[in-house]
Amino acid sequence: MKIEIDQHSGFCFGVVYAIEKAEKILSMGKPLYCLGDLVHNNQEMHRLESKGLVTITHDEFKKMKNVTVLIRAHGEPPETYKIAKENNIELIDATCPVVLRLQKRVKEAYNQSDPKQIVIFGKEGHAEVNGLVGQVSGNAIVVNTIDELDKINMKQPVTVFSQTTQSPQKYKLLIDELKKRMEALGTLTLLSYTNSICRQVSSRDKELRVFAASHQVVLFVSGKQSSNGKALYEVCKSVNERSYFISEKTEINAAWFKDAKTVGVCGATSTPMWLMEQIAEYVKKIVK
């Protein structure tokens, strides 16, 4: 049996940047807190915690003073920076540059539009989405499905952005439906939208389709709380029915590999390469 690891899978540059910043400070022996999980992968979080990283909630953050806190790649709303200044908290800002640019564009669009109707295509409550909504003081409409388009007043100007890790296909479907509805109302000229999905994420979609189709069995490795992981797994499943979502090797079922000659191991932008390599080695052992 041939087992191949997808070399395009694994951490995106934003996650790599955040982890490198964390490890540099931890190597100095300094206490470091992280506002939320640095990466949506339990195995990688355990590794970082073993080096001294402490994950905190926003409620805990508000009560802290005179400490060092890392802002992860997902970014934060302005309120977080305000609290840090008031409580003498040193912030290590590892916000992904792509997310930072999007935050700026959302804020500019809000300031320039009247009436102000900013729509974010993303997952309600997701860290990145919270940061985007925070740029406009909470005055944004978050939608994740076509059914939720009813939240929008289509007789007024609508400006749409997407969470950077969303599915390009789902975003296109949502925009197409929005165009259709606004055209029927004669308000299509009031619609503006931006393709704000990270190029590294959107290219992964195409690459994964090729990778998943070229193997008889696909193991997609990701943390269960990863939005990007769920979206990319669906891409694999759409081209290969024998695709399985796993977070660790204990979830693997040897029966999956019956009569299989090729197995592909791939993952989300929050999946470490060392974990995919561990999975591949485990499969080699159990299929012998």
Residues in contact with 83: Cβ distance below 8 Å, sequence separation at least 6, in sequence order: 61, 62, 89
Task: State the Cα–Cα distance between residues 204 and 224, nearest whole angstrom.
Answer: 19
145, exposed or middle or buried, with CB in 10 Å at 0-12, 13-18, 19+? Answer: exposed
Per-residue DSSP letter, 236: H
Angle at 138 between CA 134 and CA 144, to 5 degrees: 90
User: From the candidates 44, 90, 108, 128, which is the catalytic residue?
Assistant: 128
Task: State the Cα–Cα distance between residues 169 and 206, nearest whole angstrom.
Answer: 11
Task: State the Cα–Cα distance between residues 150 and 277, nearest whole angstrom.
Answer: 45
CA dihedral 207, 208, 214, 216 (to 10 degrees): 170
User: Contact, 263 vs 233, CB < 8 A?
Assistant: no
Residue 128 is a catalytic residue: yes
Instruction: Kindly list the distances between the CA atom of residue 220 and the CA atoms of 45, 51, 136, in Å, as whole numbers in the listed order.
Output: 19, 27, 36
Peptide bond connecting 115 to the previous residue in cis, omega within 30 degrees of 0: yes
Q: State both tokens at 239.
A: 């081209």
Q: Which residues are catalytic?
A: 128
